[in-house]
Structure 1
Amino acid sequence: MSAPGGTGRRVLVTGAASGLGAALVAALAARGDRVLAGDLAETAPEGLPAGVAYLRLDVTSDEDWEGALTHVEHTWGGLDLLVNNAGVAAGGRIDMLTMDDWRWITEINLFGVVRGCRTFTPMWKRQGSGHIVNIASMAGLVHPPTMSSYNAVKAAIVALSETLHHELAPYGVTTSVACPSFFRTGLASSLRSGDPDVEVAAHQLIEGSTVTADVIAARVLKGVDRRRHLILTEPAGRTALLAKRLLRPLYDRTMRRVAEGVRRRVDPDRTRPREHRA
């Protein structure tokens, strides 16, 4: 594997056709890395940088992952960097989400990442090198109300990444997990929710951000260059995580205020219950 930040790495990016995936592909290609972009479309999306190869890759398909493995083995003889970026968005209060909603987001956001890690680990063990970058979210570290399914799968990606960070280190394999906050991306178009009030708020948060996917991609790659395990891309995210760890009562009060705001908006006539203290 080339030196961190150097050119010529062999890279696979999932969810590469739009949003953060497309921004990562462009940034990696600009560095001179050899990039394979994977996404759901049968043909390469418009605007793919020159020299970037495209492969149809449905992250929920074991056969597609085997095809990706075969492709990099035959084309490059190995892989240096896997970016598990593909994902979808979901939101809603727990009583509004169906079990199908839970299965849908888990299959894509969590099991899609698991499949990628499992597919390439034997190769990396033989190589004695490799770098996994799992794109999670601040929702994997800080858990606001009305996002239970999204929070849960992103927290699972954080846990998986920490496990592999230790488990694969003896084989020379590095594992990073990136946790961006809300930024402008195509993720909003995939948002699935049976809770219209929450859906509107989620769209506003995503589309109202002033941070672009290109900015997040640059910050993620900066963390990759430094071989950081946990990559936090925005000051607000770092502040929220510190508050949770060091100022837990303040964090809890903030989250309760958010939940109360949702209650007042969607159930304005319901009397607020008295809080029970242990």
Structure 2
Amino acid sequence: MSRRVLVTGAGGGLGAALVAGFRERGDRVLATDLAGAAGEVDRTLDVTSAEDWAAARAWVEDEWGGLDVLVNNAGIAGGGRLDHTTMEEWQRLTDVNLFGVVRGTAEFTPVFKHQRSGHVVNIASLAGLVHPAGMAAYNSVKAGVVALTETTGHELAGWGVRATVVCPSYFRTGLVDHLVGSDEAVGAIFRRLVADSPVGPEEIAAATLAGIDEGADVVLPDEAGRQAYSFKLSDRPAYDAVMRRQAANLARLTDNSP
């Protein structure tokens, strides 16, 4: 049965791959992104704008009579050491990566409750589950998305609404071309990890769609992410030791060793 799907951040990368995957399955998709996004989108939607979200909901209700899947994919990349990340950078990452998801979920919750069905799919990051040094702001907002998704699934279960969070590790994405952060040393490391990843957006999208089909609450779409999170859960002392070595290596690489 064809589903009605709204995807944010659909102008390229993972968002565009998700749109293509849903459409290949015969779903109707409203692809949204900022004005001037690189790829083809159906509607402009700035996830930091309450007015844009209200307009998207009005369109969905007028044209489709409801929504089956909301995919909160839009986000920005960012990183930096605690003493190098400005409050403005924290605020920007929070407004887009966390509050953007909050706005969309809050806007469509009445729709889902009214129809007594729906699925919220939030694209977070492995950074929401595994927290390396040099990424405090990004880790924090993505952990918030993980918490919001779990809460949504519990709170709306009585209305037949599901919630899934997707937590990919590093994969090739154009987001790093517009990295938020004045910590250039960490930014360079982050860009290299993304560029060297063997995984692209198409693989992440395919694993995400498979996780949705399976009814998973948490989707870890790549092997590196699954191994890292399993390590944290199975041997926390060893995980902490590895994270502290990573922090020490970061300090040496950035000429700021304690």
TM-score band, normalised by the shorter chain? over 0.9
Contact kept? 1:188, 1:207, Cα under 8 Å: no
CA distance in 1, matches of 2:110, 2:140: 28
Cα distance in 1 between the residues matched to 2:79 and 2:38: 28
Deviation track 1:188-239 (CA, whole Å, cap 9, x = no partner) reads 1221111111010000011111101001000000000111110111122111
CA displacement at 1:45 relative to structure 2: 5.1
Which residue of 2 is the match for residue 5 of structure 1?
A: none
Q: What is the match of residue 23 of structure 2?
A: 29
Aligned pair partner of 2:51 in 54, 57, 63: 63
Separation (CA, whole Å) in 2 of partners of 1:189 and 1:71 = 32
Normalised by the length of structure 2, the TM-score is: 0.97
Q: Does 1:232 align with 2:226?
A: no
- Cross-structure match for 1:167: 155
Distance 2:174 2:28 in 1: 24
Displacement of 1:240: 1.2
State whether structure 2 residue 18 is matched by structure 1 residue 11.
no
1:241 aligns with 2:229: yes
Q: Which residue number corresponds to residue 41 of structure 1? A: 35
Using the aligned pairs only, state the percent identity.
54
Code of the aligned partner of 1:105: L
Q: TM-score scaled to structure 1, two decimals?
A: 0.90
| Distance in 2 separating the partners of 1:190 and 1:27 | 25
Structure 2: gaps spanning 5 or more residues: none
Aligned to 1:138: 126
The residue type paired with residue 114 of structure 2 is R
Q: Which residue of 1 aligns with 2:81?
A: 93
Contact 1:90 1:105 (C-alpha < 8 Å) held by counterparts: yes
Write the mapping of 1:212-231 to structure 2, written as runs, cut at 5 A. 212-231=200-219
Q: Tell me what 1:276 maps to.
A: none
The alignment's C-alpha RMSD in Å is 1.2
From 167, 170, 178, give the equivalent of 1:182.
170
Specify the code of the residue in structure 1 equivalent to 2:77.
A
| Aligned equivalents of 2:18, 2:5: Cα separation in 1 | 10
Moved over 3 A (4+): none
SS at match of 1:221: helix
Is 1:207 aligned to 2:195, yes or no?
yes
Partner of 1:115: 103
Distance in structure 2 (CA, Å) of the matches to 1:41 and 1:69? 18
Aligned partner of 1:275 in structure 2 is: none
- Aligned to 2:120, the other structure's residue is in SS state strand
Q: In 1, Cα distance between the equivalents of 2:146 and 2:13?
A: 21
Instruction: Please say if residues 10 and 76 of structure 1, whose CA atoms lie closer than 8 Å, have aligned partners that are also in contact.
Output: yes
